[in-house]
Amino acid sequence: MPGRPEQSFEREDFAWLVVMSLVFFALVAIALWREYATPWRPWQRQFKLTLAHAGRFDDARKFHLGIRQIWNPELGLVDRCVSCHLGFEWGGILPATLPQPLTPHPAPAFMAHHPFERFGCTTCHAGQGWATTAYGAHEGGEGWEEPMLSKQLAESCGLSEGELIQMRCNYCHRRDVSTDGMDSINLAKKLIKKKKCLICHTIEGQGGHTAPDLTYEGDKNPELFDFSHVTGPKTVFNWHVEHFISAGKIAPGTAMPDFNLPPEQARALALLMLSWRRINYPPQYIPQPAAQSAPSPAPTASAPQTASPAH
């Protein structure tokens, strides 16, 4: 309009453009820093050097830094644990004295039937497989109910780490009479027969109906347990332990007799109770009776090829 000075929109927007540009470059810089300063990257650099020190120069040259994972769509499993636990399948090649997380996985005979690419890590060890930090993988964070079965967690239950892991082994092996490497669970299964638990309890459709059904006892919510008479830790595991020792004390008025079991037997039965969960694995993962007695092939010491970079 006549007499009105012309406005310069470029001049008015210049300050905002500068601010937004600085914010954009700051966000890019933060993203690049977070990508570079990942917790697994130093371990991968160290592992690359470890391969070279062990004389595996070709393997060291081919090893590329990046998130690595075991992916199994049959189980819906994504385990990125191997981004840090890089020596897991290098037993016989790298020394067992390497510190965690580079330590090779032990190779007992039953591991020949449990290849890493089929079973992953969390199937046995629990934890949050798709996490890329130690805390996220081991503890899971708020709302995560499957923490890793660590040595510390096992010791808090009066168990070894191997004994605690047997609980998850029994997810697949619950119908085995006896399973190699599962001494505590095997003991508990013998005690179930010896103490004639099926007279009162129902397990998988068999037994009596005068006591609770134990088929999926491991799924029972902690809120359904009365901890008012428990003297030790207020956990479901310890509730079962004390209940197997003195049922009348933990559940006054119960018809269940006081077995006064030794602590190791009570802990074995508590593991068995927690292993009975409603978990559906594909049929090919459930061991068949004929396969249980088959000899275990000796593991080889060839260069591993399981873990692959995530895409």
Q: Tens digits of per-residue pLDDT, 26-51?
A: 777 766 666 667 899 999 999 999 99
Strand partners, 68: 309
Site of tokens 């037994």: 207
State the pLDDT confidence band at 292, using cuts at 50, 70 and 90.
very low
> Minimum mean pLDDT among 192-196, 206-210, 260-264, 299-303: which range?
299-303
Rounded-to-integer distance, Cα 47 and Cα 21, Å: 40
Q: What is the CA radius of gyration of the chain?
A: 27
pLDDT above 70 as % of the chain: 85
Mean pLDDT of the chain: 88
The rounded Cα 63 to chain-centroid distance in angstroms is 26
Rounded-to-integer distance, Cα 264 and Cα 21, Å: 66
Q: Is 26 helix (H, G, I), strand (E, B) or coil?
A: helix
Are residues 211 and 201 in contact, defined by beta-carbon separation less than 8 angstroms?
A: yes
pLDDT above 90 as % of the chain: 73
User: Alpha helices, DSSP H only, in 157-262?
Assistant: 161-173, 183-194, 236-245, 247-250
pLDDT at 69: 95
State the pLDDT confidence band at 300, using cuts at 50, 70 and 90.
very low
| 187-220 residues labelled b (16+ CB within 10 A) or e (exposed) | bbbebbeeeebeebbbbeeebeeebeebbebbeb
Confidence check: pLDDT of 225 > 60: yes
DSSP per-residue string spanning 38-102: -TTHHHHHHHHHHHHHTT-HHHHHH---S-EEEEETTTTEEE-GGGT-TTTT-BTTB-TTSPTTS
Encoded tokens for 15:
């300050």
Cis peptide before 282 (omega within 30 of 0): no
Which distant-in-sequence residues (6+ apart) come within 8 Å of 179 by Cβ?
A: 169, 170, 173, 185, 186, 292
Q: What is the pLDDT of residues 130-154, one digit of tens each?
A: 999 999 999 877 667 789 999 999 9
Confidence check: pLDDT of 157 > 70: yes
The torsion angles phi and psi of 69, rounded to 5 degrees, stand at -155, 160
The rounded Cα 152 to chain-centroid distance in angstroms is 14
Are residues 149 and 126 in contact, defined by beta-carbon separation less than 8 angstroms?
A: yes
Q: What is the pLDDT of residues 80-123, one digit of tens each?
A: 999 999 999 999 899 999 999 999 999 999 899 999 999 999 99
pTM: 0.81
Helix 263-275 to helix 183-194 angle, to the nearest 10 degrees?
100
Sign of CA dihedral 294, 295, 296, 302: negative
Are residues 136 and 128 in contact, defined by beta-carbon separation less than 8 angstroms?
A: yes
Confidence check: pLDDT of 201 > 90: yes
Are residues 228 and 202 in contact, defined by beta-carbon separation less than 8 angstroms?
A: no
